Amino acid sequence: MSSLRIFSWNILHGGGARCEDILAAIKDSKAHIVTLQEFRHGKSMPIILDGLKELGLTTIYAPATRTARENSLIIATSLPMEAGVFPLPHSGQVHALKASIELSPLLSLNMIAVHFPQKRAQVPLFNALLDLPSEWLDGHSLLIGDFNCGIPLQDSDTKTFYATQMFQQLLQDGWRDAWRQRYPEAREFSWVSTRKSNGFRYDHALASERLNDLIIDVKYDHDVREKKYSDHSSMLMELDC
């Protein structure tokens, strides 16, 4: 496999009406690895999971929550994978998944897919990411998903982020903002307030240095947000591996 695609999207998915649109967007991405945030184990769950399998993404990890109204995440791939909830011990809603995915016989990807909660509730997950062992930054590793955070006025129209210092600490520790590395002067927003029309780049891909060297491009698809399939834009990363 010379080119590999990773697709990430907060689908804000509570009902079955959008299943067809969600699966069509995933199909268009031609992704080998997909992570979906704000996935729920409701009536539409079998539709999404069966649709992923039909697209060839047959290795799926989608941990259940206590109730169908609580948010979870999915990682689905066509590649060999081992996955679990992050961090452990865990209770309540699922905010992150950890996976080891075999990209080739000689290359494995360590990935954590995230859906950060709001404000003070972000702190434990940030601390868990900051406490990852050094092997993560030394290897081919990726933190990807909805961080609900960023750098004020670079990743937003306003100064409103709760845990900016913790997000910036990840960057200072050596994680590379894969999109910003390729578009240092650009401003794109993956979520836009319907009330105030101000934008935020909540969705990020933070890569270790070794993985960043393999990244061909990272792009946002705002069309899925503008068509109201979700209130988030999707993100697609392409690797040369």
CATH number at residue 185: 3.60.10.10
Q: What is the rounded distance in angstroms from the CA atom of residue 180 to the CA atom of residue 207? A: 11
Number of C-beta neighbours around residue 134 at 10 A: 9
Residue 16 has a pLDDT of 40
Q: At what angle do helices 164-173 and 123-130 cross, to 10 degrees?
A: 10
Predicted structure pTM score: 0.95
Predicted confidence (pLDDT) per residue in 69-85, tens digit: 888 999 999 999 999 99
Q: What is the rounded distance in angstroms from the CA atom of residue 128 to the CA atom of residue 149? A: 16
Q: Band of the pLDDT at 13, cuts 50, 70, 90?
A: low
Specify the number of domains making up the chain: 1
How many angstroms separate the first and last alpha carbons of the chain? 7
Residue 91 has a pLDDT of 67
Residue 221 has a pLDDT of 98
> What's the domain range around 89?
3-240
Q: Report the percent of the chain where pLDDT is more than 90.
A: 82
Helix (H) or strand (E) holding 239: strand 234-240
Q: Band of the pLDDT at 66, cuts 50, 70, 90?
A: confident
Return mean pLDDT, the chain.
93
Residue 40 has a pLDDT of 87
Q: Band of the pLDDT at 41, cuts 50, 70, 90?
A: confident
What three-state secondary structure class fits 37?
A: strand
Predicted confidence (pLDDT) per residue in 169-222, tens digit: 999 999 999 999 999 999 999 999 988 889 999 999 999 999 999 999 999 999
Give the Å distances, CA to CA, from 76 to 36, 52, 190, 221: 9, 7, 22, 19
Which of 17, 37, 54 lies closest to 235 in space, CA to CA? 37
Predicted confidence (pLDDT) per residue in 98-110, tens digit: 999 999 999 999 9
Backbone angles phi, psi at 134, to 5 degrees: -60, -25
